[in-house]
Structure 1
Amino acid sequence: MEKESKVFFTDFRVTQDGGIEAKLKKLCRKAGIEQIDFYGKFTAIKIHFGEDGNLSFLRPDYARAVAELVRELGGKPFLTDCNTLYPGYRKNALDHLDCAQKHGFSPATTGCQIIIGDGLKGTDEIDVPVVNGEYCTKAHIGRAVMDADIFISLSHFKGHEATGFGGAIKNIGMGCGSRAGKMDQHSSGKPEVNQDACKGCRLCAKECGSDAITYKNKKAFINQEICKGCGRCIGACNFDAIYNPNGSANQELDCKMAEYTQAVCYGRPCFHINIIRDVSPWCDCHAFNDAPLIPNLGMAASFDPVALDQACSDLCNQATRFDNTQITDNAGRGLKLTKDLWNDSSPESVWNMTLVHGEKIGLGTRKYILEKF
């Protein structure tokens, strides 16, 4: 591996016919996507279709641009994502496809088919060895993802309540995991409830992915035997009553995501694209999106997912912050703000561990050269 990886970046300024779609194609070509032999090859484009109610997911236009480029290069593209662990509109393939179509993703709008990677019920998976894995010896990955000859990640780069930010590694590692794979990654920690702080609002129970939350004396109680450790309840609580007693849980989650990404990408041609816009502090898996933390910055691409996420994280940290965001709320609750955007937004995250561990296992390097145009 080279000492530094190249990351190519362009902003959203356009003064030419074709607009952002043409500029995205140009970005991919400058980043070297034509080095991949696409001719006749099945090409998975991993994207997040957005939970119903969320409006910050990537528009179908970005997927269409990438799919058109793959076709121009001779490939056979398809869009893919795997089913969710928690209740919602993407918990099985039928609901998932309905949600995708509601958000504008269809063969007519994107120029390619949609295949839910882990099948109807989230059980169509392949156990893939994790090269250099320290937390996982194998990863449970959606079968269609691994059947593809070439893999492209098209990621909405944004904040995340558990991992600090979500970019290429989050989109690949967590997103390509089957339901069993998602459980495997989330199994390091299970939240508990501070009974004194709980207001009995029941928002946490609505978000629970395993019906593990009941109420006794108008206070939430989490059944540890049923809980999957997904952490959705932590993000749902407006009173900081739910916490993770395992201080290493988020760190282990970050490391496992990097190892799952290694499993998906190892040994086949891969290319990665991050779109830095609508940088909400929350994952697109929620049925809402909070106000963005920073302005829309641009698009970046690289063969190296670690370098790509590191570069995009640095660009976000250098950006001017908006007022009236989750960070403003955290400051109002007494959190001492720093120059770390992700820590100020999600103080419980250990976001850099995804990158540190990814580099350690050979997924990529944190050292990069940023090429702007």
Structure 2
Amino acid sequence: MEKAKVYFTDFRASLNQNLLQKLEKLVVKAGIEQLDFQNKFAAIKIHFGEPGNLAYLRPNYAKVIVDLVKRNGGRPFLTDCNTLYVGRRKNALDHLDAAYENGYNPFATGCHVIIADGLKGTDEALVPVPDGKYVKEAKIGRAIMDADIFITLTHFKGHEATGFGGTFKNIGMGCGSRAGKMEMHSSGKPFVDQELCVGCGSCQKNCAHSAITITDRKASIDHNKCVGCGRCIGACPMDAVKSPDDEANDILNKKIVEYSAAILREKPSFHISLICDVSPFCDCHAENDVPIIPDVGMLASFDPVALDMACADLCNQQPAMAGSVIDGKPVHDHFDATHPTTNWRVTIDYAEEMGLGTRNYELIRI
């Protein structure tokens, strides 16, 4: 297979060129304007950051992409899906508050924010994955599937379950509805935390398979009837319905790839990754630790496999940051050292196997 082109620029700035100008130059050189944006809705998938975390990407970077899409006749919006876990981004209202708090608002970015899977994380499109080994029908936030063009703007960082959080993590897990996230994280079906349940019946009303009963003001789920759709998770006002979160990390990574395939095979796409503030954990945390490596640069490509591979390689060429969780450890691979129970290569290998790109790349420095 021919090598994929991955474009790269570092974080050095000058009196004549700041970082935002460098990002624009990078994505233009990488070919983003080859996409036909005219009168098209363009979803820009990004992580807004859990409030309390300060490692997430600054909204200034997003505005560069928004402005470029507009200049090319497109109609951009920033988007993400609600989280499965309890936090500030589990429903659209709280999610929007969190995004605005972190600077992702129309005044700073020049476009609107749309939470793709709706108010309670249940507004999803069912997208076939015919060759999926684990997922046959991905549950994707509807606004993402309604868009005409798909762009990712990724903060490349560590991740406790996938090794690193790169382009595929941003797409696959990030675009899954709450039920989709449950499917990726879980090998089973949801259950009810009896201590949190108040017997309100919201879950029962949203179950299409009569799998939920209320006894003594407590709900329970009959797994013989439950199909694992996860709508009860979004319906519960007390966060009492939970995912088992028991899927092996290697299978989790493969499910993320299959969810990514559901989107990437349907839409023209372009991908951008920034390697800065490489915290050991996801931006879903309400805190961030010392970066594990120094800042590296910005990358862009049409090939998400090559992009993630190039990011990993560049990260592993860096020294460990003094005072970080891997400082003083014998390090061959920074992400293996940070999270020894994960294997990030599974994602790369499986994405290539599914035909979503190639690990072989040419790094073009801008």
Fold similarity call, TM over 0.5: yes
1:292 corresponds to = 291
2:264 corresponds to = 265
Please report the RMSD computed on the Cα atoms of aligned residues, expressed in angstroms.
Answer: 2.2
| Corresponding residue to 1:369 among 351, 362, 365 | 362
Q: Which runs of 4+ in 1 moved over 6 A?
A: none
Cα gap change, 1:131 to 1:33, in 2 (>3 Å): farther
Aligned to 2:326, what secondary structure does the other structure show?
helix
2:334 corresponds to = 341
1:352 paired with 2:345, answer yes
- 2:62 maps to a residue whose letter is A
2:280 corresponds to = 281
Cα gap change, 1:323 to 1:210, in 2 (>3 Å): farther
Give % identity: 57
1:228 corresponds to = 243
- 1:251 maps to a residue whose letter is D
- 1:364 maps to a residue whose letter is G
2:302 corresponds to = 303
2:44 corresponds to = 45
- Gaps of at least 5 residues in structure 2 are 197-222, 224-240
1:106 corresponds to = 105
Aligned to 1:89, what secondary structure does the other structure show?
coil
- TM-score normalised by structure 2 residue count: 0.84
Given that 1:86 and 1:210 are in contact with CA atoms closer than 8 Å, whether structure 2 keeps it comes out as: no
Cα gap change, 1:16 to 1:129, in 2 (>3 Å): farther
Tell me how far 1:131 sits from its aligned partner: 4.5
1:238 corresponds to = none
1:149 corresponds to = 148
Aligned to 2:168, what secondary structure does the other structure show?
helix
1:83 corresponds to = 82
Distance of 2:159 and 2:243 partners within structure 1: 19
Superposed counterparts of 1:135-146, under 5 Å: 135-146=134-145
Distance of 2:181 and 2:333 partners within structure 1: 28
Distance of 1:16 and 1:212 partners within structure 2: 61
1:235 corresponds to = none
Aligned to 1:175, what secondary structure does the other structure show?
helix
Given that 1:271 and 1:303 are in contact with CA atoms closer than 8 Å, whether structure 2 keeps it comes out as: yes
Tell me how far 1:227 sits from its aligned partner: 5.3
Cα gap change, 1:262 to 1:179, in 2 (>3 Å): same
Aligned to 2:175, what secondary structure does the other structure show?
coil
Distance of 1:279 and 1:211 partners within structure 2: 35
Distance of 2:90 and 2:266 partners within structure 1: 30
Aligned to 1:9, what secondary structure does the other structure show?
strand
Distance of 2:130 and 2:364 partners within structure 1: 30
Cα gap change, 1:295 to 1:210, in 2 (>3 Å): farther
Tell me how far 1:298 sits from its aligned partner: 0.5
1:327 corresponds to = 326
- 1:368 maps to a residue whose letter is Y
Equivalent residues, number: 324
Tell me how far 1:18 sits from its aligned partner: 5.7
Aligned to 1:326, what secondary structure does the other structure show?
coil
- 1:111 maps to a residue whose letter is G
CA deviation map 1:211-262 (0-9, x unaligned): 5999xxxxxxxxxx975244xxxxxxxxxxxxx7x7xx00001111111111
Aligned to 2:347, what secondary structure does the other structure show?
helix
CA deviation map 1:87-124 (0-9, x unaligned): 11000000000000100111110011110000000000
Distance of 2:150 and 2:121 partners within structure 1: 20
Distance of 1:213 and 1:170 partners within structure 2: 32
Tell me how far 1:338 sits from its aligned partner: 3.7
Given that 1:188 and 1:252 are in contact with CA atoms closer than 8 Å, whether structure 2 keeps it comes out as: no
Distance of 2:282 and 2:193 partners within structure 1: 21
Aligned to 1:133, what secondary structure does the other structure show?
coil
- 2:11 maps to a residue whose letter is F
CA deviation map 1:324-357 (0-9, x unaligned): 212248x4xxxxx340111100011111101000
